Structure 1
Amino acid sequence: MEVIAGKRFTRATKYIRAAVIITSVAAIFISLLLASLILFARALGAPPLAVPQSTLFYSGDGEIIGESDNGQKRYWVDLEEISPALIDATIAVEDRGFYRHHGFDIKRIAGAILADIKAMAKVQGASTITQQYARNLYLGHDKTWNRKMNEAFYTIRLETNYSKNEILEGYLNTIYYGHGAYGIQAASQYYYGKDAKDLTLAEASLIAGIPKGPSSYSPFLNMENAKKRQKVVLQAMKDEGKITNELAKKEISFPLVFKRGHKTVDRKVAPYFQDAVMQALKSQLDMDDRTIELGGLKVYTTLDKRTQEVAESTFNNVIEETSDIQAALVSMSPKTGEVKAMVGGRDYAKTPYNRAIQAIRQPGSTMKPLLYYAALEKGFTPATTLRSELMTFQYDDGKSSYTPHNFNHQYADSEITMAQALALSDNVFAVKTHMFLGERALMDTARRFGITTKMSQVPSLALGTSGVRVIEMVNAYNLFANGGREVKPVLIKKIENHKGEVIFEHRTERQQILNPDRAFVMTQMLTGIFDPKLNGYTKVTGSSIIPQLTRKYAGKSGTTETDSWMIGYTPELVTGVWAGYDNAKKITVPAEKTYAKNIWAQFMEESLENKPVKKFKQTDNVVGVYINPANGKLATENCPVKRMTYFVKGTEPTEVCTEHLSEGKTHHSKEKNQEKETWYKRLFNFWGD
C-alpha cells in the first residue's frame, strides 16, 4: 500500500511541477507577447488623433457666423476649456480607474465576465475610456473578435504614446452625445446653449450620462430616463469622493434650463457671403470638399456683421415684396479689398444663386469712369469739351454704324465739359471719347482695373454693353477710392487647422496701378453726380437721392434696358448695387428703376452713421480752381455758377470765362444805383424825423 501511495505522490508532484512549468512558460510567453506588442506599438509611433470636425466660419470681429453643413456637429476644445465637473462626472461613471490602469481594467473585465456568465447574457461592459476612444477613432461598433483585437491593439498604442490627459481630452471631444452632437463642446451648445467650460454640476451630471445611450437618456427624448441616469452619475461622483451626499441630493433636484439647437446654425448669417467663402477655399486655396467640410478648420473672414445686417434690411425696406426683380450688393474696404457685406439675392432659401459673384450683367454707364480715366491719360481734363448732339458713328472700316442715344433723347446741342458729361451721363460724349482713344483703349484699361470678363471692341462698349460681375466692378472703383493702388476682393483673412496652427494668412500687397493724381481728379469728377451746379440740359443723375445724403460721396449710376446699377464710395467704403431680372427681362416699372440708387443711398448712410466724415485726400500734384461748369473756363465773380474743379497741375484751364462780363457790368451798375437810392432814402428819412 505504501508503495502505491508513494507512486501516486510522485506522479502528483510531476503533474504539479509540469503545471508550474507550463504556467511559467505561458506567463513568460504572455509577458513577452505583451512586451512585444508594447514595443511594436511604440515603434509604430503615435496614432493620429485627427477626427472629423466641423469647419467654423468667423466674422471679422471673431464671432461665429456659420459652419460646414455635414449633419454632424464636431468641435474640439482643450481639456482646460472643459468644466471640471463634467470631467469628474465622466470619469466617475465611465472609468473610475482611468488614471490608475494602463488601458485595461482587469478587475472590471473579470467582474463583467462573471456577471455575464451568471446571467447567461452580456449584461455588463468593461470598456475603459481609452478603449472607447480607440473604438471611436479607428473602429466600428460591430461585436466581432477581430474588432476587439484591433481595439486592444489601438488601446495599447494610445496608452504608450499619449498622456492620460491627452487621451481624456480626445475622448471628450469625440464621444457621441446624441442629436448630431459629437464631443462635449457641441453637446453643451446643443443642450444648454453654452460652452463646455461653463457647465454647472447639475448640467454636467446630466449630460455625462447621455453617451451610454443617447436615444434613451437624451432629456429631449425621455426626461424621466435622463434624470434617472443623472442620479447614477451623481452617486458615482459621491462614491469617488468628488461631491458630498448633500450636494448630490441638491443637484438632482436643481431645475435645468435647456436651449435646444446648435448654436452656430440657428440662423445662417450672410449665406451668400459664406458660399463665396466656400468657393474661395476651393478655387483660391485648392482645398477639397472633405477638408472644408470635416477638416476642423477655423476660417476667419472679412465680414462685418453690422454692415451685413444693414445691407439685408435695406433690401427688405426698399424692394417691394410683390416685385419679382432681383438685386445684389457688394461692399468693400478700398484700402484692403476686404468684403464687408455681400447680398447675392433677395431670398437665399428660394435661390442660392449668388448674383454678386456669378452673374454677368451689363454695367451701363458705370463703365464711363474707367473710360474717362483712360482719357485723362491721353491729355483730356475735366474741362475738355465735346459737342453733345445726335450723331452716328462709323466703325469696322466703315462697314458698320452705331447711333447712341441719351436718356429721353435729350442733347445739349452744344459743347459740354467732360465733368458735366459724366455728371449728366451724356452717352454721345462717352462714345466720342471712346472712338477718339481707339476701341481697344477702354478694354485694356478695364483689364488694369481688374475686369476679367470678355469685352467687345465696339462703340457701345463705352456705354457698358459688355457684361461684368458685380464684385469686379465694385473692386474697380476701389482703385479710385484708394488713390490707384491695386487690391483684389478679399473674403478670408486667416485659416487655422484643427490644432490651431495658422495654415493661411492673407497679406495685402498693394501695387500702384493708377496715377494717384489722376485717380484723385476722377474721384472729384465722380462727386459731380450729386452736385446740382452741374445741371445742364438735364439734371445730374444722382439728383433723386441727394436729399438722403449727409456727407460727400463719389459715384456713378448705370442703366440699361435690363440692368440698373449704382456704385459709389467714401474714403473708407466702396459699395455697388445691381438690380434686374434673372432672365434679362426689361425693367419697365418706374419704381424698380430706382431700387439700385435707393438701396445704395440708404445702405451707405446707415453703414457710416455715427462715423467721422472723412475727406478724399488731395495729392500734392493736383490743383483746384473755380470754373464755369458750362464751358470749362476759369470762372469770374460774374459767372452765375462756378464750381471748384481739380486738375493735375499744368493741365488746369487758363482761359477766363467772358460770357457774363457785360451782364456783370449791368448788374454791378444796378447794384450801385440801388445802393445810392437806399442812401438818399435813409438821409431823407433821417431829416424828415
Structure 2
Amino acid sequence: MEIMTNQRFRRTAKYLRALLFILAAAATIGAVLYFSVIGYAKLLGPPPLAVPQSTLYMADNGTVIGESNSGQKRYWVPLNDISPALMEAAISIEDKKFYSHGGFDYKRIAGAALADMKAMSKVQGASTITQQYARNLYLEHDKTWKRKLSEAFYTLRLEMNYSKNEILEGYLNTIYYGNGAYGVQAASRYYFGKDASDLNLAEAAMLAGIPKGPSLYSPFASKERAENRQATVLQAMENNGYISAAERNKALSESLKLIGKHENPDLGKAPYFQDAVRNALKNTLKFDDRALALGGLKIYTTLNLKQQKIAEEVMEQEISKDSDIQAGFVAMDPKTGHVKAMIGGRDYKESPFNRAVQAVRQPGSTMKPLLYYAALEQGFTPATTMKSEQTTFRFEDARQPYTPHNFNNKYAEGDITMAQALALSDNIYAVKTHLFLGEKALIETAKEFGITTKMEKVPSLALGTSGVKVIEMAGAYSMMANGGKKVEPVLIERIENQHGDVIYEHSEEAETVLKPELASVLTHMMTGMFDRKLDGYTSVTGRSMATAMSRPYAGKSGTTGTDSWMIGFTPQLVSAVWTGYDKGKPLELSTEQIYSKNVWFQFMEKALEDKPVKKFEPAKDTVGVKIDPQNGKLAGPGCPVKRLTYFKEGTEPVEQCTDHLNEEIHKKRKHKDKHKEKHKEEQSPWYRELF
C-alpha cells in the first residue's frame, strides 16, 4: 500500500514537472514571440497615416469652387477644430477606456468573447478606437483570422508611434458616417450644414451614433432608430462623467434641423478657370494626378466670384444665343497679375477647349500699342506725324509688294500724329512705323511684354497677323496699366497640405521692365480711342462707348477678317476679350465685329461699379501740354480743338500752331468792328432815334 502511494506521488510529481516545463517553455516562447513582435514593430517604425482626402479649390474669398475625390468626400480637420462634445461622445460610445489602454481593452475582449460563446454567434464587438482606426487605414472589413491578426499588429504599431490625440484625430477623420460622408467634417456639413467645430451636444450625440451602422442609425434611414441611438450615446456620456443628467435631458428634447446634402453651392464654378488651375498644378508646379485627386490639398486661387459671374452674364447677354461664335475672356489685377475671371468658351459641356489660354488667334490692331511703345523708345512722340494715304510698300529683296488698307479704305490724305493714328487705328501709319523701326523691333518688344508665341518677321506684323493668346495680351496690357512692372498671369496664390501647412506660395519681385515714363505716355495715348477730340478722317474707334463711360479707360480694339478683340484697363482692372469662330470663318456681320467691344465695356462698367474712379496719373519725368491733335503742334489761340497730351520730358513740341492764325485774326477783327459799331450807336445823339 505504501509502495503504491509512493509510486502515485512520483508519477504526479513527474506530471507536475512536465507541466511546469511546458508552461515555462510556453512562457519563454510567448515572451520571445512578444518581444519579437514588439521589436519588429519598433523596427518598422510608424505606419503611414495617409488616407484619400478631397482636394478643394477655393476662390479668393475662401469659397469652395471645386473638388476632386475618389468618391469619398473627406475633409481633414485637426482635433482643435472638432467639437469637444463630439470627441467625448465618440469615446463614450466606442471606447470609454481609450486614454488608459495600450490599444486593446482585454476586459472588454473577454466579455465580448463570452457573449459570443453564449449566443454561438458574433453578437458583441470589442474593437477599440485604435483598432477601428487601423482597420480603416490598412485593412478590409472581412472577418478572417488573418485580418484580425493584421489589425492587432497595426494597432500595436499605432499605439507605439502616435499619441492618443493623433489617433483620435485620425479616427474621427476616417470613420464612415453614411451617405458618402467620410470623417466628421464631411458628416457635419452633410447632416447639419455646419463645421465639425460648431456641433452642439445633441448634434454630436446623433452623429457619434451613426458609425455603428450608417444604414441603420442615419436619421435619414430611420429617425426613430437614430433618436434611440442618440439617447444611448447621451446616457454613456453621462455615465462617463462628461455631462450631467440635466444636460442629457436638454439634448434629448432638442429638435434637430437636418440638411441632408453636401453643401458647396459654388462647386463647379468657372470650369475653364479650374481647368487652367489644374494644368498649372501639373505642368508648372509638378503635382501628380494622385496628389491632386486624393491628397487633401487646399488650392487657394485668385478667382473673384463676383467678377466671374458678371463676365458670364455679360457674355450671355451680349452674344446672340443663335450664333456659333466662340469667345475667350480674361480679367486681371494689373498690379499683381492675379486672374480674377476667365471664360474659355460659350459652353464648357459642349467644348472644354479653353480659348482664353489655349487658342492662338490674330490680335489685329490690339498689337499696335506694343508697336508704338517700341517707337517711343526710338524717339517717336505722340506728336510725331506721318502721311496717311494708300501706300504700296516695295522691298529690295525678293518679297512681294505689300499694300495695307485702312478700314473702309478711308485715309487722311495728309499728315496725322501718332496719337491720332492710334485712336483712329490707322494701318498705314502703323506699317510705316514698323518698317522704320525694323521688323525685329516689334518682335523683341512683344517678348518684353510677356508674349511667348512665335511671331513672323513680316510687314503685316504691325497689324497683328501673328497669333497670340488672350491671357498673354491681358498680361501685356497689365504692364502698361501698372507703369511698366513685369507681371505674369497668376492663377494660384498658395497651396496647403492636409495638415494646413503651406507647401507653395506665389511670390514675385516687382521688376520694372518698361520705362515708366514711356508706359505712362502710351497709356494716355490709349485713352484716345474714347476721345472725340481726336476725330479726323474717321471717328475714334471707341466712339460708341465714349458717351456711356463712367470713368477714364485706356484700351485698343482690333479686328481681322476672322477675329474681333477688345482689350482695355483702368488702374485697378484689365480685361481682354476675343470673339470669333473656331474654324476661322469670316466675321461678315457688323454685329459680329462689335461683340468683343460690347462684352468688354459692359463687364468693366459692372465690375468696377462699386470701386472708386481712378485717373491715370502721369509718371515722373513726363509733362502734359495742350496740342492741336491735327498737326501735333502746341495749340495756339486760334486752334478750335486743344487736347492735353503727355510726353516724356524734353520731347514735348515747342512750335506753336499757326494753321488757324488767319482765322483768329479775322475773328478778332470782326469782334472789334462789332464792338466799334455798338459803341458808335451808344454815342449817337438822342434825337437820331426820332428820324
TM-score range, shorter chain: over 0.9
Look up the equivalent residue of 1:124 and give its one-letter code. Q
Q: C-alpha deviations, 1:214-261, integer Å up to 9, x for none?
A: 233333344344334333323332333333455445434532212233
What is the CA–CA distance in structure 1 between the aligned matches of 2:575 and 2:442, rounded to whole Å?
A: 22
Look up the equivalent residue of 1:456 and give its one-letter code. E
Counterpart position of 1:594:
594
Counterpart position of 1:198:
198
Structure 1 unaligned runs (5+)?
none
Counterpart position of 2:169:
169
Residues 96-495 of structure 1 mapped to structure 2, 5 A cutoff: 96-245=96-245, 247-264=247-264, 267-395=267-395, 397-495=397-495
Displacement of 1:449 in angstroms is: 1.1
What is the CA–CA distance in structure 2 between the aligned matches of 1:598 and 1:120, rounded to whole Å?
A: 79
What is the CA–CA distance in structure 1 between the aligned matches of 2:667 and 2:541, rounded to whole Å?
A: 33
Asked whether the equivalents of residues 38 and 160 of structure 1 are also in contact (C-alpha less than 8 Å), the reply is no
Look up the equivalent residue of 1:170 and give its one-letter code. G
What is the CA–CA distance in structure 2 between the aligned matches of 1:81 and 1:685, rounded to whole Å?
A: 102
Displacement of 1:156 in angstroms is: 0.7
- Distance change in 2, residues 1:675/1:310 (3 Å): farther
Asked whether the equivalents of residues 136 and 174 of structure 1 are also in contact (C-alpha less than 8 Å), the reply is yes
Which deviates further from its counterpart, 199-208 or 367-376? 199-208
Look up the equivalent residue of 2:384 and give its one-letter code. T
Asked whether the equivalents of residues 387 and 415 of structure 1 are also in contact (C-alpha less than 8 Å), the reply is yes
The alignment partner of 2:352 has SS state of coil
Which deviates further from its counterpart, 58-67 or 170-179? 58-67
Displacement of 1:577 in angstroms is: 1.3
Look up the equivalent residue of 1:501 and give its one-letter code. D
Asked whether the equivalents of residues 367 and 464 of structure 2 are also in contact (C-alpha less than 8 Å), the reply is yes
- Distance change in 2, residues 1:30/1:645 (3 Å): same
The alignment partner of 2:341 has SS state of strand
Which deviates further from its counterpart, 144-153 or 369-378? 144-153
Look up the equivalent residue of 2:671 and give its one-letter code. E
What is the CA–CA distance in structure 1 between the aligned matches of 2:373 and 2:448, rounded to whole Å?
A: 11
Which deviates further from its counterpart, 106-115 or 237-246? 237-246
Displacement of 1:10 in angstroms is: 4.4
Which deviates further from its counterpart, 196-205 or 245-254? 245-254
Aligned: 1:580 with 2:565: no
The alignment partner of 2:547 has SS state of helix
What is the CA–CA distance in structure 2 between the aligned matches of 1:597 and 1:685, rounded to whole Å?
A: 67
- Distance change in 2, residues 1:682/1:256 (3 Å): farther
Q: C-alpha deviations, 1:32-73, integer Å up to 9, x for none?
A: 433332333233322222222222222223333322244222
- Distance change in 2, residues 1:58/1:267 (3 Å): closer
Kindly tell me the number of residue pairs found equivalent between the two proteins.
Answer: 689
What is the CA–CA distance in structure 1 between the aligned matches of 2:587 and 2:72, rounded to whole Å?
A: 44
The alignment partner of 1:568 has SS state of strand
Asked whether the equivalents of residues 52 and 69 of structure 2 are also in contact (C-alpha less than 8 Å), the reply is no
Look up the equivalent residue of 2:639 and give its one-letter code. C
Counterpart position of 2:609:
609
What is the CA–CA distance in structure 1 between the aligned matches of 2:173 and 2:110, rounded to whole Å?
A: 29
Counterpart position of 1:514:
514
Displacement of 1:676 in angstroms is: 4.4
- Distance change in 2, residues 1:477/1:684 (3 Å): farther
Which deviates further from its counterpart, 62-71 or 432-441? 62-71
TM-score by length of 1: 0.94
What is the CA–CA distance in structure 2 between the aligned matches of 1:564 and 1:323, rounded to whole Å?
A: 15
The alignment partner of 2:211 has SS state of helix
Counterpart position of 2:563:
563
Look up the equivalent residue of 2:195 and give its one-letter code. D
Asked whether the equivalents of residues 67 and 264 of structure 1 are also in contact (C-alpha less than 8 Å), the reply is no
Asked whether the equivalents of residues 64 and 266 of structure 2 are also in contact (C-alpha less than 8 Å), the reply is no
Which deviates further from its counterpart, 544-553 or 300-309? 300-309
What is the CA–CA distance in structure 1 between the aligned matches of 2:69 and 2:352, rounded to whole Å?
A: 15
Q: C-alpha deviations, 1:98-128, integer Å up to 9, x for none?
A: 1121101112222222222222222222211
Look up the equivalent residue of 2:175 and give its one-letter code. I
Q: C-alpha deviations, 1:540-574, integer Å up to 9, x for none?
A: 00111112211111110111222211111112221
Asked whether the equivalents of residues 67 and 265 of structure 1 are also in contact (C-alpha less than 8 Å), the reply is no
The alignment partner of 2:293 has SS state of helix
Residues 497-536 of structure 1 mapped to structure 2, 5 A cutoff: 497-536=497-536
What is the CA–CA distance in structure 1 between the aligned matches of 2:607 and 2:686, rounded to whole Å?
A: 60
What is the CA–CA distance in structure 1 between the aligned matches of 2:601 and 2:62, rounded to whole Å?
A: 28
Q: C-alpha deviations, 1:591-612, integer Å up to 9, x for none?
A: 3322211221122222222322
What is the CA–CA distance in structure 2 between the aligned matches of 1:327 and 1:311, rounded to whole Å?
A: 11
The alignment partner of 1:90 has SS state of helix
- Distance change in 2, residues 1:115/1:676 (3 Å): farther
What is the CA–CA distance in structure 2 between the aligned matches of 1:272 and 1:360, rounded to whole Å?
A: 16
What is the CA–CA distance in structure 2 between the aligned matches of 1:643 and 1:686, rounded to whole Å?
A: 49
Look up the equivalent residue of 1:240 and give its one-letter code. N
Q: C-alpha deviations, 1:383-413, integer Å up to 9, x for none?
A: 1112212222234824313222211221112
Asked whether the equivalents of residues 172 and 184 of structure 2 are also in contact (C-alpha less than 8 Å), the reply is yes
Look up the equivalent residue of 2:601 and give its one-letter code. A
Which deviates further from its counterpart, 366-375 or 307-316? 307-316
Which deviates further from its counterpart, 45-54 or 153-162? 45-54
- Distance change in 2, residues 1:567/1:684 (3 Å): farther
Asked whether the equivalents of residues 65 and 266 of structure 2 are also in contact (C-alpha less than 8 Å), the reply is no
What is the CA–CA distance in structure 2 between the aligned matches of 1:70 and 1:325, rounded to whole Å?
A: 36
Which deviates further from its counterpart, 461-470 or 307-316? 307-316
Look up the equivalent residue of 2:189 and give its one-letter code. Q
- Distance change in 2, residues 1:104/1:389 (3 Å): same
Asked whether the equivalents of residues 66 and 265 of structure 1 are also in contact (C-alpha less than 8 Å), the reply is no
Displacement of 1:459 in angstroms is: 1.9
TM-score by length of 2: 0.94
Asked whether the equivalents of residues 300 and 492 of structure 2 are also in contact (C-alpha less than 8 Å), the reply is yes
Displacement of 1:680 in angstroms is: 6.0
Asked whether the equivalents of residues 485 and 513 of structure 2 are also in contact (C-alpha less than 8 Å), the reply is yes
What is the CA–CA distance in structure 2 between the aligned matches of 1:276 and 1:182, rounded to whole Å?
A: 29
Residues 42-57 of structure 1 mapped to structure 2, 5 A cutoff: 42-57=42-57
What is the CA–CA distance in structure 1 between the aligned matches of 2:266 and 2:632, rounded to whole Å?
A: 59
Which deviates further from its counterpart, 428-437 or 169-178? 428-437
Residues 605-684 of structure 1 mapped to structure 2, 5 A cutoff: 605-677=605-677
Displacement of 1:76 in angstroms is: 1.3
Which deviates further from its counterpart, 414-423 or 104-113? 104-113
Q: C-alpha deviations, 1:160-213, integer Å up to 9, x for none?
A: 111111110111011122233221111111222110011122221222122222
Q: RMSD of aligned C-alpha atoms?
A: 2.4
